[in-house]
């Protein structure tokens, strides 16, 4: 179908199965009658565009089995773009640009989650697989009264803003070391050195991050954060639920406790132990 307006011309296509009435109109022997019937059928779908494309009309139509070079789906209907002139393309580009709000102040009050990584430690696969509810994992983090906890903060999900901070496990506040920056995890190297032995799966070392979600901050506050900025936590770190995270997957939860001069996590739930306790199944 070829559409014309004061701004230019474009040719669109739609599947016949989606528009059987249009196919019947296109098969009429009189081209003028076919165009008028199709224009009536398209009056309602085209109505929202009449104010944006002056004089928009269906100029002609024909049956064609060729695939469109570009296709979109709108309201469960496929629409193909066969051709468009520069004037019409420029008008559509201007309309799209004007529809985007340049004032984003209404977003500044949105709150984003803050994920706090208390520490990260590596455990053997067999050791981690044997952990059950009630067991304690030592983190290696000092628990002295004067020792502040140096932690890693991530704001948002997916593409995040990250920084480090100092906090006390009995405090409701964390003091930032610097302004949050776009996060980027380093890509690990997996090259095998010449002559190196390949280890057994049971001897794998698994990195475990101890994380909590204990704060939500406004976007405008996040943009203003810098060295020395303080964020208020929902609860003291000692009272928060600690997640054990392996490669972005939560494998257990627990609570912080003090064991001698270091912090530990008393396990409340452990997903790996459930898998370890499952009876083996014979393969067919």
Rounded Cα distance between 21 and 41, Å, is 8
Question: CB under 8 Å, gap of 24 or more: what pairs does 103-108 form?
Answer: 107/219, 108/218, 108/219, 108/220
The tokens describing 262, both together, are: 């270091």
**Nearest 5 degrees, angle CA 205-CA 209-CA 214?**
170
- How far apart are alpha carbons 122 and 118 in whole angstroms? 14
Residue keyed to tokens 């269906």? 58
282 phi/psi in degrees, rounded to 5: -75, 140
Q: How confident is the model at residue 272, as a pLDDT? A: 53
Tens of pLDDT along 48-61? 888 888 889 999 89
Residues 208-256 have pLDDT tens digits of: 999 998 788 888 888 899 999 999 888 888 888 999 998 888 889 999 9
Query: Does 147 or 30 have the greater pLDDT score?
Result: 30
Report the percentage of the chain scoring pLDDT > 90.
28
Question: What is the rounded CA–CA span in Å between residue 88 and residue 31?
Answer: 25
**SS3 labels along 77-94:** EEEEEEEECHHHHHHHHH
Helix, strand, coil percent values for the chain (each to nearest 5): 25, 40, 40
Burial class (CB in 10 A: 0-12, 13-18, 19+), 42: buried
* Structure confidence by residue, pLDDT tens digits, 108-140: 788 888 889 999 988 888 888 888 999 998 888
pLDDT in tens, 59-102: 989 888 777 888 888 777 788 899 999 999 998 888 888 776 66
In degrees, rounded to 5, the angle at the alpha carbon of residue 46 between the alpha carbons of residues 40 and 52 is 140
């Amino acid at each position: 179908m070829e559409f014309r307006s004061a701004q230019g011309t474009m040719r669109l296509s739609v599947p016949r199965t989606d528009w059987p009435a249009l196919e019947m109109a296109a098969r009429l022997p009189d081209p003028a009658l076919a165009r008028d019937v199709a224009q009536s059928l398209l009056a309602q779908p085209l109505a929202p565009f009449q104010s944006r494309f002056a004089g928009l009309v269906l100029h002609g139509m024909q049956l064609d089995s060729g695939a469109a070079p570009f296709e979109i789906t709108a309201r469960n209907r496929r629409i193909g773009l066969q051709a468009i002139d520069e004037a019409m393309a420029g008008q559509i580009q201007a309309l799209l640009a004007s529809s985007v709000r340049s004032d984003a102040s209404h977003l500044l009050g949105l709150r984003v989650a803050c994920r706090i990584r208390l520490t990260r430690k590596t455990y053997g696969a067999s050791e981690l697989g044997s952990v059950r509810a009630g067991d304690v994992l030592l983190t290696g983090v000092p628990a002295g009264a004067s020792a502040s906890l140096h932690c890693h903060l991530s704001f948002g999900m997916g593409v995040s803003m990250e920084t480090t901070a100092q906090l006390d496990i009995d405090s409701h506040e964390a003091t930032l070391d610097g302004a949050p920056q776009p996060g980027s995890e380093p890509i690990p190297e997996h090259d095998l050195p010449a002559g190196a032995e390949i280890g057994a799966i049971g001897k794998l070392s698994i990195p475990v991050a101890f994380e909590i979600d204990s704060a939500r901050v406004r976007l405008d506050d996040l943009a203003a954060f810098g060295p020395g900025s303080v964020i208020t936590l929902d609860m003291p770190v000692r009272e928060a639920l600690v997640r054990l995270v392996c490669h972005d997957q939560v494998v257990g939860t627990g609570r912080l406790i003090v064991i001698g001069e270091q912090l530990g996590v008393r396990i409340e739930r452990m997903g790996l132990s459930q898998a370890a306790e499952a009876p083996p199944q014979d393969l067919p």
